[in-house]
Amino acid sequence: MESARLLRMDPYIALSWINMKLRNEYDTLEALCEDLNVSMDEIADKMKNIGYVYGHKNNQFIGIETKE
């Protein structure tokens, strides 16, 4: 997937897609972003806008209210 396409994607669809990739293919958000050539900050900002942050422990984006 092109990085520009990911950043234009509906944020909730992007959330689902990114979490699926993190669960099945990537050990870290950094590895996913490096492979897709997309900035971690851009992904984090997109997810934060809908109330999600990256949880290192679970390697997933999680709701801010459930952040550990």
Name the pLDDT band for 2 (thresholds 50, 70, 90): confident
pLDDT in tens, 20-50: 999 999 999 999 999 999 999 999 999 999 9
The residue extents of the domains of the chain are 3-66
pTM: 0.88
CA atoms of 46 and 59, how far apart (whole Å)? 17
